Amino acid sequence: MKAKIVITPKKAVLDPQGKTVQAALEQMGHDGVKAVHVGKYLEIELEGDAEAWRPKIDEACHKLLSNPVIEDYHFTIE
Amino acid sequence: MKAKIVITPKKAVLDPQGKTVQAALEQMGHDGVKAVHVGKYLEIELEGDAEAWRPKIDEACHKLLSNPVIEDYHFTIE
Protein backbone atom coordinates (compact mmCIF):
# COMPACT_ATOMS: atom_id res chain seq x y z
CA MET A 1 0.00 0.00 0.00
CA LYS A 2 1.28 3.44 -0.91
CA ALA A 3 0.45 6.96 0.16
CA LYS A 4 1.10 9.45 -2.65
CA ILE A 5 1.42 13.01 -1.43
CA VAL A 6 1.58 16.13 -3.57
CA ILE A 7 2.62 19.42 -1.98
CA THR A 8 2.28 22.60 -4.03
CA PRO A 9 2.80 26.28 -3.28
CA LYS A 10 -0.46 28.15 -2.67
CA LYS A 11 -1.64 30.12 -5.71
CA ALA A 12 -1.02 33.49 -4.00
CA VAL A 13 2.59 32.59 -3.16
CA LEU A 14 5.43 33.61 -5.48
CA ASP A 15 6.93 30.55 -7.15
CA PRO A 16 10.36 31.59 -8.49
CA GLN A 17 11.25 28.00 -9.40
CA GLY A 18 8.09 27.79 -11.49
CA LYS A 19 8.86 31.11 -13.19
CA THR A 20 12.35 29.84 -14.02
CA VAL A 21 11.02 26.62 -15.56
CA GLN A 22 8.45 28.63 -17.53
CA ALA A 23 11.19 30.92 -18.90
CA ALA A 24 13.33 27.88 -19.80
CA LEU A 25 10.43 26.23 -21.66
CA GLU A 26 9.85 29.43 -23.62
CA GLN A 27 13.55 29.60 -24.44
CA MET A 28 13.33 26.01 -25.75
CA GLY A 29 10.79 27.43 -28.25
CA HIS A 30 7.62 26.11 -26.59
CA ASP A 31 4.92 28.79 -26.80
CA GLY A 32 1.63 28.44 -24.96
CA VAL A 33 2.89 27.81 -21.43
CA LYS A 34 0.57 29.83 -19.20
CA ALA A 35 2.04 28.97 -15.81
CA VAL A 36 4.30 26.48 -14.04
CA HIS A 37 4.00 25.42 -10.42
CA VAL A 38 6.78 23.41 -8.80
CA GLY A 39 6.09 21.34 -5.73
CA LYS A 40 7.11 18.20 -3.91
CA TYR A 41 6.01 14.61 -4.33
CA LEU A 42 6.31 11.90 -1.70
CA GLU A 43 5.58 8.22 -1.95
CA ILE A 44 5.30 6.40 1.37
CA GLU A 45 5.13 2.61 1.41
CA LEU A 46 2.90 1.52 4.27
CA GLU A 47 1.86 -1.61 6.06
CA GLY A 48 -1.52 -1.97 7.75
CA ASP A 49 -4.98 -0.51 7.35
CA ALA A 50 -5.52 2.33 4.84
CA GLU A 51 -8.27 4.00 6.87
CA ALA A 52 -6.10 3.95 9.99
CA TRP A 53 -3.27 5.57 8.07
CA ARG A 54 -5.36 8.39 6.59
CA PRO A 55 -5.40 10.65 9.72
CA LYS A 56 -1.75 9.84 10.45
CA ILE A 57 -0.65 10.85 6.96
CA ASP A 58 -2.77 13.99 7.20
CA GLU A 59 -1.07 14.89 10.48
CA ALA A 60 2.38 14.18 9.04
CA CYS A 61 1.62 16.38 5.99
CA HIS A 62 0.45 19.19 8.24
CA LYS A 63 3.18 19.07 10.86
CA LEU A 64 6.18 17.64 9.11
CA LEU A 65 6.07 17.57 5.34
CA SER A 66 4.44 20.83 4.26
CA ASN A 67 4.46 24.41 5.44
CA PRO A 68 0.71 25.10 5.73
CA VAL A 69 1.29 28.87 5.60
CA ILE A 70 2.53 28.79 2.02
CA GLU A 71 1.76 25.28 0.76
CA ASP A 72 -1.26 23.11 0.02
CA TYR A 73 -1.18 19.33 0.06
CA HIS A 74 -3.35 16.46 -0.99
CA PHE A 75 -2.79 12.74 -0.86
CA THR A 76 -4.22 9.41 -1.88
CA ILE A 77 -3.70 6.03 -0.22
CA GLU A 78 -4.02 3.04 -2.49
CA MET B 1 -5.21 22.03 -19.85
CA LYS B 2 -2.57 20.89 -17.39
CA ALA B 3 0.48 18.67 -17.60
CA LYS B 4 1.19 16.99 -14.27
CA ILE B 5 4.73 15.70 -13.98
CA VAL B 6 6.12 13.47 -11.24
CA ILE B 7 9.89 13.02 -10.96
CA THR B 8 11.18 10.41 -8.53
CA PRO B 9 14.65 9.06 -7.73
CA LYS B 10 15.33 5.68 -9.34
CA LYS B 11 14.90 2.77 -6.94
CA ALA B 12 18.63 1.97 -6.96
CA VAL B 13 19.59 5.53 -6.02
CA LEU B 14 20.14 6.49 -2.38
CA ASP B 15 17.38 8.83 -1.21
CA PRO B 16 18.65 10.55 1.95
CA GLN B 17 15.66 12.90 2.05
CA GLY B 18 13.35 9.89 2.01
CA LYS B 19 15.32 8.19 4.78
CA THR B 20 15.07 11.35 6.88
CA VAL B 21 11.30 11.57 6.43
CA GLN B 22 10.99 7.87 7.28
CA ALA B 23 13.00 8.37 10.49
CA ALA B 24 10.87 11.40 11.40
CA LEU B 25 7.63 9.46 10.88
CA GLU B 26 8.93 6.67 13.11
CA GLN B 27 9.87 9.24 15.73
CA MET B 28 6.30 10.59 15.58
CA GLY B 29 5.28 7.11 16.65
CA HIS B 30 4.03 5.81 13.30
CA ASP B 31 5.10 2.21 12.88
CA GLY B 32 4.66 0.36 9.61
CA VAL B 33 6.45 2.76 7.26
CA LYS B 34 8.40 0.53 4.88
CA ALA B 35 10.00 3.18 2.67
CA VAL B 36 9.72 6.84 1.67
CA HIS B 37 10.66 8.30 -1.69
CA VAL B 38 10.87 12.04 -2.13
CA GLY B 39 10.60 13.56 -5.58
CA LYS B 40 9.42 16.61 -7.46
CA TYR B 41 6.02 17.55 -8.79
CA LEU B 42 5.37 20.05 -11.56
CA GLU B 43 2.09 21.37 -12.87
CA ILE B 44 2.31 23.15 -16.22
CA GLU B 45 -0.72 25.08 -17.50
CA LEU B 46 -0.82 24.78 -21.26
CA GLU B 47 -2.69 26.22 -24.20
CA GLY B 48 -3.25 24.29 -27.43
CA ASP B 49 -3.47 20.66 -28.45
CA ALA B 50 -2.73 17.95 -25.87
CA GLU B 51 -1.29 15.50 -28.42
CA ALA B 52 1.04 18.18 -29.80
CA TRP B 53 2.25 18.93 -26.28
CA ARG B 54 2.98 15.32 -25.34
CA PRO B 55 6.37 15.00 -27.16
CA LYS B 56 7.35 18.52 -26.09
CA ILE B 57 6.69 17.79 -22.41
CA ASP B 58 8.56 14.51 -22.75
CA GLU B 59 11.55 16.36 -24.22
CA ALA B 60 11.41 18.99 -21.49
CA CYS B 61 11.30 16.30 -18.78
CA HIS B 62 14.27 14.54 -20.32
CA LYS B 63 16.47 17.56 -21.03
CA LEU B 64 15.44 20.16 -18.50
CA LEU B 65 13.38 18.95 -15.58
CA SER B 66 14.84 15.59 -14.57
CA ASN B 67 18.27 14.03 -14.39
CA PRO B 68 17.69 10.80 -16.37
CA VAL B 69 20.79 9.18 -14.82
CA ILE B 70 19.27 9.10 -11.34
CA GLU B 71 15.61 10.01 -11.81
CA ASP B 72 12.50 8.59 -13.45
CA TYR B 73 9.59 10.71 -14.59
CA HIS B 74 6.06 10.23 -15.75
CA PHE B 75 3.38 12.71 -16.70
CA THR B 76 -0.25 13.08 -17.66
CA ILE B 77 -1.86 15.81 -19.76
CA GLU B 78 -5.50 16.48 -18.99
- B23/A contact by beta carbon, under 8 A: no
pLDDT of residue A38: 96
What domains, with CATH codes, occur in chain A? 2-77 (3.30.1280.10)
SS3 A58: helix
- What ipTM does the predicted assembly reach? 0.90
Contacts of A38 in chain B (CB under 8 A): 40-42
Taking only the tens place, the pLDDT of each residue in A61-74 is: 999 999 999 999 99
- Report the pLDDT value the prediction gives residue B29, as an integer from 0 to 100: 92
Q: Do A39 and B40 touch (CB under 8 A)?
A: yes
pLDDT tens digits along B13-51: 999 999 999 999 999 999 999 999 999 999 999 999 999
Rounded to two decimals, the pTM is 0.91
